[in-house]
Amino acid sequence: ELVGERSVGGLNPQQAEIVRIIHNSVEQLQTLIEDLLNFSTVQVGPPSLNLAHLDLAALVQEVVDAHKPALMGKGLVLNAHMDSLPVQGDREKLKTVVDNLLSNAIKYSPEGGELTVTVSSSGNQALLDVVDDGPGVPQDDSQRVFDAFFQGETPAEGYIKGSGLGLSISREYVHAHHGAIQLLDSERAGAHFRVSLPLDHGREAA
């Protein structure tokens, strides 16, 4: 009788945990590979952009939805306040920026912690703020977090250590959009990252 024709039944708790660990490790390895490829690209020169008229809030929501399993897995509370704002940008590169910020926030947040994601405007700028409940960034490291391969001393959860390239790549992508990314002083424990991008005045976002 062929194995494929037999019912193998469900996984026991130990097997399920092993599958979960393998799945998480594969996802982290994929992220490492993507970071290295993206980093090698930005080292050659300014990243090329496939520009389109975008709704920043819709783009951020798309990334948030993709991270819902990770948020639920750690029991994290997400507070989202997002205004629909038009920007001109490269959809995939801006998604990479948002993904890096949200992934870090989830990675460093304690079980049952709270995340806040805000899209708002100030003057001619669209602002994306990501704030977490994690250990934050020591003052001595605040100017180095965007350096390539910098990871700091704060341990993050996971079986594979990150590349230390996510924020460096994000900075290059944001700068290519004539924007800025910075680590702000947080009013609560944790880290507060802000991305600012020029508003696309007079254009309808797709």
**At CA 145, angle to CA 74 and CA 85, rounded to 5?**
70
In this prediction, residue 34 carries a pLDDT of 62
Single out the residue of 106, 105, 101, 117 nearest to residue 166, CA to CA: 101
Ramachandran angles phi, psi of 53, nearest 5°: -85, 120
pLDDT of residue 185 exceeding 60, the answer is yes
Could you tell me if 170 and 181 are in contact, meaning their C-beta atoms sit under 8 angstroms apart?
yes
| 40: exposed, middle or buried (Cβ count in 10 Å: 0-12, 13-18, 19+) | exposed
In which residue are the tokens 């990675």 written?
107
Output 206 or 126, whichever has higher pLDDT. Answer: 126
pLDDT score for 12: 77
Q: What is the pLDDT of residue 81?
A: 96
Predicted TM-score (pTM) of this structure: 0.72
